[in-house]
Amino acid sequence: MDPSRIRQVKPRTEGWNQRKDAEGRPLLQFASPKRGKPPVHLADLTPEERVAKVKELGLPGFRAKQLEKHYFEHRTRDPERMTDLPKEGRAELVAGMLPDLLTEVRRLTTDGGDTIKFLWKLHDGALVESVLMRYPGRITLCVSSQAGCGMNCPFCATGQNGLTRNMSAAEIVDQVVRANEVIEAGELGGKRDDDHSAERVSNIVFMGMGEPLANYKRVMQAVRTMVDKKNGLGMSARGITVSTVGLAPAIRKLTDEDLPVTFALSLHAPDDELRDEMIPVNDRWKVDEVLDAARGYYEKTGRRVSIEYALIKDMNDHPWRADMLADKLLARGKGWVHVNPIPLNPTPGSVWDASTPAAQREFVRILNDRGIPTTIRDTRGKEIDGACGQLVVTEEDERAAVSA
């Protein structure tokens, strides 16, 4: 059939309610608005800087190691439990090195307790969310890297409020430590026995609020702390997924870090004509450039790249687009990539629908037939607005935060 005769829903005319610039284009915010900085925390510092800071506080450097053990391993922030530290000055040391960063405002649970969405208040009142999910054999935490987001994608709820600010490295890491605390307390469902002391978050996805590569330095510091076996959380890099809207220069920079994390690219359209409308940063870095950068990541790290593709009814789910996507991926080789379509999750005010099951199946079939491994992403937390693209601060959240 002539592709031009297939219905084409346009992002621009339907449902676009993000902030716009003078020309009516969605406003992109790369720079973080200036706000009071969160207190400096152990997880913002390199191991050497931690030792220096402890000495500054008038204590021998080895106290830094003890604090690391309490925080990362024992998930303890309570000075009362740190009995290996001298009682004299202990509270001041802990306040100076492990200041409180996240205040829990609210917790929503679904999937019989297997999924928990947390709403956190930061020191300046900014609000962020993280989502904790138990799967057979792994526990995944979806973390936020910014309060809000400046990338303005029309189908994603987070962009609707713009960017509040970058999160610090420690604010990112603390989401993991706090989740580990909750797991240890037996508060995540689906447990098999009563001993949770060995259980912790095994996988991280940077798919919460924010564009991780727009907060590059702090996200890298957070990732390094997550994978540091000696002075950090000791997680495996391949269990950490960094997902980006496609900031090509930052992807190339990430390629040169010695950090074999899993890399995911939110492509959502294989053609610039549509991607320009769906992903406003496509104005700067086009489909071919981001795909080249993604391929470069694979070449350097050997890690298979993941392509995210939110399937939206009659917008980007046409069979010809599946073929065009296959063409563009295969033009860059075989075996380097897999495609992870996800039926669109509803967001407030959105007029778009997820693709029909038949359209989803057809899209997946075409890619698989072309030799590109493609699996629909299992989503969690839709009922609690905790699924991909649904994280946004609501008026109800703001009200709850006032009393928290």
What residues line the site for ligand SAH (CB under 6 A)? 155-156, 207, 211, 243-245, 266, 308, 310, 342, 344-345, 347, 388-389
Residue (of 207, 250, 203) closest to 227 by Cα position: 203
Q: What is the nearest approach in angstroms of ligand SAH to the Cβ of residue 314?
A: 15
Select the residue whose beta carbon is closest to ligand SAH and give its number. 389
Q: 3-state DSSP call for residue 374?
A: strand
Report how far residue 72's alpha carbon sits from residue 137's, in angstroms, rounded to the nearest whole number.
21
Q: What is the nearest approach in angstroms of ligand SAH to the Cβ of residue 128?
A: 13
* C-beta of 130 vs 347, nearer to ligand SAH: 347
* C-beta of 182 vs 388, nearer to ligand SAH: 388
Q: Around Cβ 98, how many Cβ atoms within 10 Å?
A: 24
Given CA atoms 73, 228, 173, 241 in this order, what sign does their dihedral have?
Answer: negative
* C-beta of 45 vs 207, nearer to ligand SAH: 207
* C-beta of 98 vs 392, nearer to ligand SAH: 392
Q: Helices H, strands E: what count in the chain?
A: 11, 11
Q: What is the nearest approach in angstroms of ligand SAH to the Cβ of residue 386?
A: 12
Q: What is the nearest approach in angstroms of ligand SAH to the Cβ of residue 207?
A: 4
Residues in the chain, total:
404
Q: What is the nearest approach in angstroms of ligand SAH to the Cβ of residue 244?
A: 5
Residue (of 189, 214, 211) closest to 199 by Cα position: 189
For the record, the structure tokens of 219 come out as 């996200």
For the record, the structure tokens of 14 come out as 């339907």
CB burial of residue 194 (10 Å; 0-12, 13-18, 19+): exposed
* C-beta of 41 vs 117, nearer to ligand SAH: 117
Report how far residue 159's alpha carbon sits from residue 27's, in angstroms, rounded to the nearest whole number.
10
- Give the residue numbers marked as catalytic: 129, 388
